[in-house]
Amino acid sequence: MAESDLYPPVKRFLEAQGYAVKGEVRECDVVAVRGDEAPVIVELKTGFSLQLLLQGVDRQAMTDAVYLAFGPPKRRQRSDILKLCKRLGLGVLVVTGDFVEPLADPEPYQPRRNARRTTMLLKEFAHRVGDPNTGGTTRRPRMTAYRQDALRMAGFIGANGPAKVAVLRIETGVSRAAGILQNDVYGWFMRESRGIYTLSPKGIGALTTYQDVVSGLGVARS
């Protein structure tokens, strides 16, 4: 499919809405005019790309009604592309053969804050000890406040042997000790007997993998 293949269906789509349409007007791929309304500009590309996005942003200097028209994106990319275009105030037309699917109209973006996500972000920031993660790296799993709490408990058991939940809560200062042990997200703990927990082989391995973190948390290891 060539860019020129997108023009006929896009033109028909706009003409059906009462627009007079012309292609390649100055630097614009498609320009549509209806009465005294602001012109509509459509930029064409066979697939979504940064170049198409930049062209769309540039055309906003001439009109607020700018659409990006492109071939069908991969399903997993669709929502991300739509979110980005909406944030930039760009309309989206997906062209499949002769069919044009309007996914978004160009309109000012008004971000809606997610109070819960903001609260969780600040809670994680406040509870995480130090700065154990280097931004952008994926060498080992991200260190979260939850993982740090689990390591405090693993470190205590590693140094002192099997322990009761109440003892772990008091000695490590981890108020959610019972939940961490019961859920055992990382597979680090094993119940030795009623209310008493020890380390699994994975837990013993974690003390080696995260030795630097455990040391920084102030948990003694034998």
For the segment 167-180, the average pLDDT, to the nearest whole number, is 93
Question: Given the structure tokens 């859920």, which residue do they identify?
Answer: 183
Confidence of residue 177 (pLDDT cuts 50, 70, 90): very high
d(CA 107, CA 171): 56
106 vs 62: CA distance, rounded Å: 13
Sorted by where each starts, the structural domains of the chain and their CATH numbers stand as 3-104 (3.40.1350.10), 140-215 (1.10.10.10)
Average pLDDT over residues 73-99: 93
Mean pLDDT of the chain: 89
| Mean pLDDT, residues 129-153 taken together | 81
Q: Is the pLDDT of residue 34 over 80?
A: yes
CA-wise closest residue to 91 among 119, 116, 70 = 70
H or E segment and range at residue 44: strand 40-45
Residue 168 is predicted with a pLDDT of 94
User: Has residue 111 got a pLDDT over 70?
Assistant: no
Partners of residue 22 on adjacent β-strands: 31
Contact in structure between 219 and 172 (CB atoms under 8 Å) = yes
| pTM for this model (two decimals) | 0.60
Q: What does the pLDDT look like over 38-80, one tens digit per residue?
A: 999 999 999 999 999 999 999 999 999 999 999 999 888 999 9
Write down the pLDDT at residue 47.
94
> Which whole number is the average pLDDT over 114-138?
78
Q: Is 157 helix (H, G, I), strand (E, B) or coil?
A: helix
Instruction: Determine the pLDDT at residue 40.
Output: 94
Nearest one of 2, 59, 5 to 31, comparing CA atoms: 59
CA dist., res. 108 & res. 162, Å (int): 59
Q: Return the H-helix or E-strand segment holding 116.
A: helix 115-127
pLDDT for position 205: 94
Q: Give, in order, the Cα–Cα distances in Å from 147 to each of 28, 116, 158, 183, 206.
A: 53, 21, 16, 13, 11
Structure tokens at 86: 């909406």
β-partners of residue 191 are 197
Burial group, residue 36, by CB count within 10 angstroms (0-12, 13-18, 19+): exposed
Name the band, by pLDDT with cuts 50, 70 and 90, for residue 135: low
Residues in the chain: 222
- pLDDT confidence tier of residue 107, bands split at 50, 70 and 90: confident
Angle between helices 50-59 and 75-87 (to 10 degrees): 20
Rounded mean pLDDT of 152-160? 94
Alpha-carbon gap, residue 52 to 27, rounded angstroms: 13
